[in-house]
Chain A
Amino acid sequence: MHVLDNTASLWYFLPELLLSAVFVLLFVIDLPKSWSEKRLLTPIVAAIGLVAYMGLTAYSWDFPKAAAFHGMIIVDPFTNFFRIFSALTALVTIFYSLKAKELAMAGAEYWAILLGIVIGMPMLAASNNLLMIYLAMEIVSILSYIMVGYLPNSRRSVFLESNPAERLPLFVGLLMAFAGFGYKISAVPFHMWAPDVYEGAPTPVTAFLSVGPKAAGFGIVLRFIYTALTQHHGEEFVPLKYVDISSLLSLFAIATMVLGNLLAIQQKNIKRFLAYSSIAHAGYMLMAAAALNVMALQAILFYLLTYFIMNLGAFGVAILIQNDLGTEEIDGYKGLAKRGGRALWISIAMLMFLFSLTGLPPFIGFVGKFYLFAAVLDAKLYALALIGVLNSVVSLYYYARVVKVMFFDDPADERSLAKDSRGLSTLLFGLAAATVVFGLFWKSLALLSQSSANMMF
């Protein structure tokens, strides 16, 4: 691997440099009054910036793996995977934010902050140095904090992810490192902030937080485990002698799956519900991480892609319902399928997202779980796999409850969905179709995650 000096590194840092430039540009074009009144101008520039960012990433995909900035960050396909992933998540978030009524007043700074997080997230996955991890984590955390509180004219209180533990990995050992990462991926017992933040933040921000930073968190967890804590011999990773890293991860995974699932059952608010569900999903991914093999690495990257589709889809429905029916309560979904017109199709899309999250075929979530469990079984962690699949069964109970509410119950009033939500619906139908199309033909996604994982070393 080349260790590059600062000047040579810039070439590898082009996508981030570009995004930083766009970040500044957004504030500049917001200055003239006539421009700042054009509401769509800044988000469109931000979106163009993200697309260009992805283009540059694609262009640099085949660059030889390098340790840039004297080894502070590693630029390899693994990093590039998270660059693309973050940018895609941000693009969907921009779209959601434009459609969400509660964010109608979002100004240039909102879009700029979003770009800032996109810069930070892949850096987390790319970090090769504890100080860099800390910096990247702070970029993501502080900016997320602003986004969570970003509700003009809202008096809703927001609990902050207060994580002094983040500072500790610099000084103390492994457990504390995981505590820090645990906050990012909302693993139990570091998950407490998630439901409150998810509920309090504007829904598009919640959607973003549940996918983007979580994925970035997994980026650093994987980078950390697979480079700092293990030595690899071919396909297998041998953990360092003095610590049973696999058992530690298994323990986190079990706690996260079980608690996430059990607490999701009793939720009444759709955002809290999805928060706990996302905790459970972090558990499934941690479970695979405990396998400590290349297969697990591929499986987790693949799962992040599937999770991107189904979780953003579910949040998209939540935004649409919040816009049109003005409710965040699961009870507000009563009889959604019977409200006529597009409501039926939106309910069917939601059904597909929820059953995909459950892990039922023919939806993409099934394939994702298949690979996660394959990695776990390959590592002969049979008990862990059994606990995992039983958790899947539990999750069916609460996902199906929302389906039940939508399809079996009767609506409380006659309202249907508003006409102007057509753009959002179209995106949702696209995501819903993706759950089935990729659920039956997932080769491309699997190859992508395979190549991103294999070239990490």
Chain B
Amino acid sequence: MPHFPILTLITFSPLIGILIIPFIPKAKESLVKWVALISTLPALGLAVKLFLDFDRTTKAIQMAEGPIDWIKPFHIQYYMGIDGLSVTMVILTALISTICIIASWGIEKQVKGYFTLFLLLETGMMGTFLALDFFLFFIFWEIMLLPMYFLIGIWGGPRREYAAIKFFLYTLAGSVLMLLVLIAFYLYSDGHTFNLIALQDPKLHLGPLSSHGIRLACWIGLFIAFAIKVPVFPFHTWLPDAHVEAPTAISVILAGILLKLGTYGILRFNYQLFPDITVELVKWVAVLGVINIIYGALCAMAQKDFKKLIAYSSVSHMGFVLLGIASLTAEGITGGVMQMFNHGTITAQLFLIVGIIYDRAHHRDINGFGGLATAMPKYAVWTTIAFFAALGLPGLSGFISEALIFLGSFKNWPGLTAVAVTSVVLTAAYMLWTLQRVFLGPLNEKYKDYPDINGREVLCLLPLAIIVLAMGVYPKPLINMMSVSLKGINEVLVPYGAKVASVLGM
């Protein structure tokens, strides 16, 4: 009995806009923005429905559509489904996408092209989180690249072409490694299936795919593919370029959603398809996580460009996710995935905030500001909320996930965790120092007449701030949605010698 195809609709509903936009006459270009906004709303509405209907008591795949044969002789199927790992990401994607359309209202260059590509990007992201067939996943994964390349390359800053191709090349370099793993499954999985859920059964891994060396190579291939996206040191160098050159809304999408695809992929593929290798190498994931945390924070501290600072803070914050999922504790993994969600909402605000001041000042030199709190008091308040959330102030959501991560990872990696904890100080240092340089001190005369934050900008920030506050005080709805599934992911590792643990009895 076919049920309401909510996941297919949530993925493909943005495409409605793509079908309408080309037919809007050039004279009525403002209509394009409205059409784009309206075509993201069904996905947002369905995301709310997902939130309400999601069964929090099972780790099984829910609301599945398919598997339906797509290319039958080659066992490629259309298979979408959701679990505690992906549900929060889908909701985040829907929310951020709508906000970013609003944040893109100021786009004036080639309006039709921008919003068409944007909507295509949303479909790509949704599909990547929801696809449960490896082949389907790969197609969605690659489909995201094209719009991103153009969005950075056409609407970006001065070095946009360099940043766009660098982003494209880095990601493709990872993708081709993933392609080889995809082919390995095509050749050596029992029944030649690409079904990611079925493939969790190691009995389906035949031939070379059951040998240790090949599994190790596959794990590393997948890990590099996802690590480039996260980005994990030393694959991170595309990120500052792409973030800095991309237009505001696209930076928000990049940091808010695309980076999460990396850690999502590690949990969905590395952890569940190759649990044996994961147990073997998880220590190195933790090490890389800590490097990311510290290195990202130190780089952020050294930046003079406001946007680059935020970009490096993302490197640091995504390191927390790695450390969390490498902890092999229920708390750590839950904290990690929660950090994915929280970082999505927090960093989105940070990039929006940078965009707001850039729209007015047309530069981002932190030392070039000063005393802005006098000229733009409301803006200062919004910035402070986001900054405090980013540095993990108790009462805001960032604190909860970081605390869970440290709590979990300390159990298995006490030394690494001790190193990572120092970043709390580093983060506070660069965040507060930035706050001080931009908002405090004597007001630079140039900025005296700047208009304060306007209604549209508040509309973008408000929902995110509410979530950050609410999840900081009462994170239970979020934790409940993911914890059963994540516990399941963790327990899969036990037969392979992992000492999984639970600190709080989660």
Residues of A within 8 A of B (CB): 355, 360-362, 366, 369-370, 373-374, 377-378, 380, 382, 385-386, 389-390, 392-393, 396-397, 400-401, 404, 407-408, 441-443, 446-447
For A407, give its contact among B73, B154, B168, B217 (CB under 8 Å): B154
Contact B180 A377 (CB under 8 A): yes
* Distance, CA A369 to CA B142, complexed state (A): 14
16 A-B residue pairs with CB within 8 Å? A355-B146, A360-B146, A362-B139, A370-B182, A373-B179, A374-B187, A389-B177, A389-B180, A390-B176, A393-B173, A396-B168, A396-B169, A397-B169, A407-B150, A407-B153, A446-B71
* Distance, CA A373 to CA B169, complexed state (A): 20
Candidate in A355, A366, A382, A396 with the most chain B CB atoms within 10 angstroms? A396
* Distance, CA A401 to CA B164, complexed state (A): 11
Taking A360-B145, A390-B176, A404-B153 as given, write out 6 further A-B residue pairs in contact, using a Cβ cutoff of 8 Å, ordered by the A residue number. A360-B172, A369-B179, A400-B149, A400-B165, A443-B71, A443-B72
9 A-B pairs with least C-beta separation: A389-B176, A361-B139, A361-B142, A374-B183, A393-B173, A377-B183, A393-B172, A408-B153, A378-B187
* Distance, CA A165 to CA B142, complexed state (A): 43
B50-93 interface (Cβ within 8 A of A): 71-74
Q: Which residues of A contact B177 (CB under 8 A)?
A: 389
User: For the complex, is B365 an interface residue (Cβ under 8 Å from A)?
Assistant: no
Distance to closest chain A CB from B168 (angstroms):
6
User: For the complex, is B491 an interface residue (Cβ under 8 Å from A)?
Assistant: no
* Distance, CA A446 to CA B183, complexed state (A): 16
* Distance, CA A382 to CA B181, complexed state (A): 11
Q: Which residues of B contact A374 (CB under 8 A)?
A: 183, 186-187
Q: Which residues of B contact A362 (CB under 8 A)?
A: 139, 142-143
Main secondary structure of the interface of B (DSSP, over half): helix
Given the contacts A373-B183, A385-B180, A407-B150, A446 and B74 also touching, CB distance less than 8 Å: yes
Q: Which residues of B contact A360 (CB under 8 A)?
A: 142, 145-146, 172
Give the nearest-CB partner of B110 in chain A: A338
Distance to closest chain B CB from A451 (angstroms):
12
Q: Which residues of B contact A373 (CB under 8 A)?
A: 179-180, 183
User: For the complex, is B138 an interface residue (Cβ under 8 Å from A)?
Assistant: yes
Q: Which residues of A contact B139 (CB under 8 A)?
A: 361-362
Give the nearest-CB partner of A396 in chain B: B172
Distance to closest chain B CB from A259 (angstroms):
19
Q: Which residues of B contact A389 (CB under 8 A)?
A: 176-177, 179-180
Give the nearest-CB partner of B139 in chain A: A361
Contact A377 B143 (CB under 8 A): no
Given the contacts A355-B146, A361-B138, A361-B142, A397 and B183 also touching, CB distance less than 8 Å: no
Contact A443 B145 (CB under 8 A): no
Distance to closest chain B CB from A163 (angstroms):
34
Q: Which residues of A contact B138 (CB under 8 A)?
A: 361
User: For the complex, is B184 an interface residue (Cβ under 8 Å from A)?
Assistant: yes
* Distance, CA A380 to CA B180, complexed state (A): 12
Distance to closest chain B CB from A132 (angstroms):
35
Tally the A-B contacts, defined by beta carbons under 8 Å: 75
Contact B71 A370 (CB under 8 A): no
* Distance, CA A369 to CA B179, complexed state (A): 10
B176-231 interface (Cβ within 8 A of A): 176-177, 179-180, 182-184, 186-187, 208, 217
Given the contacts A404-B153, A404-B165, A446 and B180 also touching, CB distance less than 8 Å: no
Q: Which residues of A contact B241 (CB under 8 A)?
A: none
Distance to closest chain B CB from A343 (angstroms):
14
Q: Which residues of A contact B143 (CB under 8 A)?
A: 361-362
User: For the complex, is B457 an interface residue (Cβ under 8 Å from A)?
Assistant: no
Q: Which residues of A contact B305 (CB under 8 A)?
A: none
* Distance, CA A400 to CA B217, complexed state (A): 29
Candidate in A377, A382, A442 with the most chain B CB atoms within 10 angstroms? A377
User: For the complex, is B161 an interface residue (Cβ under 8 Å from A)?
Assistant: yes
Distance to closest chain A CB from B213 (angstroms):
10
* Distance, CA A360 to CA B142, complexed state (A): 7
B150-180 interface (Cβ within 8 A of A): 150, 153-154, 160-161, 164-165, 168-169, 172-173, 176-177, 179-180
* Distance, CA A366 to CA B187, complexed state (A): 17
Q: Which residues of A contact B74 (CB under 8 A)?
A: 443, 446
Q: Which residues of A contact B179 (CB under 8 A)?
A: 369-370, 373, 389
Give the nearest-CB partner of A389 in chain B: B176
> B349-367: contact bitstring with A at CB < 8 Å (1 yes, 0 no)?
0000000000000000000
* Distance, CA A362 to CA B71, complexed state (A): 14
Distance to closest chain B CB from A205 (angstroms):
32
Contact A442 B183 (CB under 8 A): no
Distance to closest chain B CB from A318 (angstroms):
22
> B127-156: contact bitstring with A at CB < 8 Å (1 yes, 0 no)?
000000000001100110110011001100
Contact B142 A442 (CB under 8 A): no
Give the nearest-CB partner of A351 in chain B: B146
Contact A442 B71 (CB under 8 A): yes
Q: Which residues of A contact B164 (CB under 8 A)?
A: 404
Give the nearest-CB partner of B74 in chain A: A446
Contact A404 B142 (CB under 8 A): no
Q: Which residues of A contact B146 (CB under 8 A)?
A: 355, 360
Give the nearest-CB partner of B73 in chain A: A443
Contact A397 B165 (CB under 8 A): yes
Give the nearest-CB partner of A358 in chain B: B172
Contact B176 A392 (CB under 8 A): yes
Contact A377 B184 (CB under 8 A): yes
* Distance, CA A386 to CA B176, complexed state (A): 9
Q: Which residues of B contact A380 (CB under 8 A)?
A: 208
* Distance, CA A422 to CA B180, complexed state (A): 41
Q: Which residues of B contact A377 (CB under 8 A)?
A: 180, 183-184, 187
* Distance, CA A271 to CA B73, complexed state (A): 38
* Distance, CA A393 to CA B228, complexed state (A): 14
* Distance, CA A362 to CA B153, complexed state (A): 21
Q: Which residues of A contact B154 (CB under 8 A)?
A: 407-408
* Distance, CA A396 to CA B149, complexed state (A): 12
Q: Which residues of A contact B208 (CB under 8 A)?
A: 380
Q: Which residues of B contact A441 (CB under 8 A)?
A: 71
Contact A386 B180 (CB under 8 A): yes
* Distance, CA A381 to CA B346, complexed state (A): 46
* Distance, CA A390 to CA B177, complexed state (A): 9
Contact B183 A404 (CB under 8 A): no
Candidate in A355, A378, A393 with the most chain B CB atoms within 10 angstroms? A393
Contact B161 A446 (CB under 8 A): no
* Distance, CA A336 to CA B404, complexed state (A): 53
Give the nearest-CB partner of B170 in chain A: A393
Q: Which residues of B contact A446 (CB under 8 A)?
A: 71, 73-74
Distance to closest chain B CB from A351 (angstroms):
8
B14-72 interface (Cβ within 8 A of A): 71-72
Q: Which residues of B contact A396 (CB under 8 A)?
A: 168-169, 172
Q: Which residues of B contact A366 (CB under 8 A)?
A: 142
* Distance, CA A183 to CA B85, complexed state (A): 54
* Distance, CA A360 to CA B208, complexed state (A): 27
* Distance, CA A362 to CA B154, complexed state (A): 22
Give the nearest-CB partner of A394 in chain B: B169
For B73, give its contact among A382, A386, A447 (CB under 8 Å): A447
Q: Which residues of A contact B153 (CB under 8 A)?
A: 404, 407-408
Give the nearest-CB partner of B177 in chain A: A389
Contact B73 A393 (CB under 8 A): no
* Distance, CA A369 to CA B176, complexed state (A): 11
Candidate in B142, B183, B217 with the most chain A CB atoms within 10 angstroms? B183
Distance to closest chain A CB from B181 (angstroms):
10
Q: Which residues of A contact B168 (CB under 8 A)?
A: 396, 400
Given the contacts A361-B143, A362-B139, A404-B165, A370 and B183 also touching, CB distance less than 8 Å: yes
* Distance, CA A390 to CA B173, complexed state (A): 7
